Chains A and B, each alone.
Chain A
Amino acid sequence: MLGQSGVPQVGSVTVKTTSHTGLPIEHWADRCLERIIYVAPDSTSIMKDQAEAYRANIRAVLIHYMTQAIKSDRTTLYNLFLKQGHRDMAEILRKL
């Protein structure tokens, strides 16, 4: 007999929305971290402390490189707009 085991279950999603802007880098870094590091609620406190310290380090690294990636992409877009004769739009991007 299967009992409660073997019953497929569904989890709950959460929805984040914004108005007139995107989500900040910190949001994506935190979401990324949740995929990379999962700390089980029943972990020992030593394990938890180590994992949290590691998580904080990785978070800083993620934020740094995500920021660099956005800057790189803006450089690409800046040059694309400039090449197409949209200097005003290119300047808006550069100043962001």
Chain B
Amino acid sequence: MAFPSDTLTNTFKVGLLQGLHDFRAAGNTFNIALYDDTTTMTAGTATYPGTGADGELAASGNYTQGGQALASVDPVWDTTAAICDFADEVFSNATFSAMGALIYDVTASNATVALLDFVTLQTATAGDFTIQFPAAAAATAIIRIA
């Protein structure tokens, strides 16, 4: 089974209108959790499926289930879009493989935000597993509203 393509979840879109998500640096806590390709998550997945559930990596090789907290950068307007950004996230001294990730809002009762597809299986062995977020610009930022 393949990991779902990059997508913002339905819950996130509704959450925007409900004012659930505060992406400012001092705002909500957003976690990124890692998954293998057995996950059945879709854009319709409303909340983080739970510790170790639905294809989340096992708690080994220096991965802690639930993932790691992201460092958010204050949203800004760039040319033609409102954008938000996160600092690159590093899982250090990692020994595991992952096919994709889920960003979810811990502060908003673990509401899902986005599914991120790594396209191919990514493996680190006693090394760094680094998720690099795209340039914070109108055409590329991780989350943008044109």
Q: Which A residues are closer than 8 A to B by beta carbons?
A: 4-23, 31, 34-35, 38, 40
Contacts and interface: CB of A to CB of B under 8 A. Distances in A.
A11 B122 contact: no
A6 B116 contact: no
Interface string B117-146: 110001111111111111111001111111
A36 B125 CA distance: 30
Interface in B82-108: 87-88, 92, 94, 98, 101
A14 B8 contact: no
B33 to A, nearest CB: 14
B2 interface: no
B127 A18 contact: yes
Nearest to A12: B6
Given A9-B8, A11-B143, A17 B88 contact: no
A47 B127 CA distance: 38
Interface residues of B, number: 40
A34 B144 contact: no
25 contacts: A7-B146, A8-B143, A8-B145, A9-B144, A9-B145, A11-B6, A11-B140, A12-B116, A13-B101, A13-B116, A14-B131, A14-B134, A15-B130, A15-B132, A16-B132, A17-B129, A17-B130, A18-B124, A18-B127, A18-B128, A22-B92, A22-B127, A22-B128, A38-B135, A40-B137
B113 to A, nearest CB: 9
B145 A15 contact: no
Given A8-B8, A18-B124, A34 B135 contact: yes
B143 A16 contact: no
A34 B133 CA distance: 10
A5 B116 contact: no
Given A19-B124, A38-B135, A38-B137, A10 B143 contact: yes
A89 B45 CA distance: 48
- 5 smallest CB-CB distances across A and B, nearest first, come from A18-B127, A17-B124, A11-B134, A19-B125, A15-B122
A4 B133 contact: no
- Of B130, B140, B145, which is in contact with the most chain A CB atoms at under 10 Å from its CB? B130
A40 B118 CA distance: 26
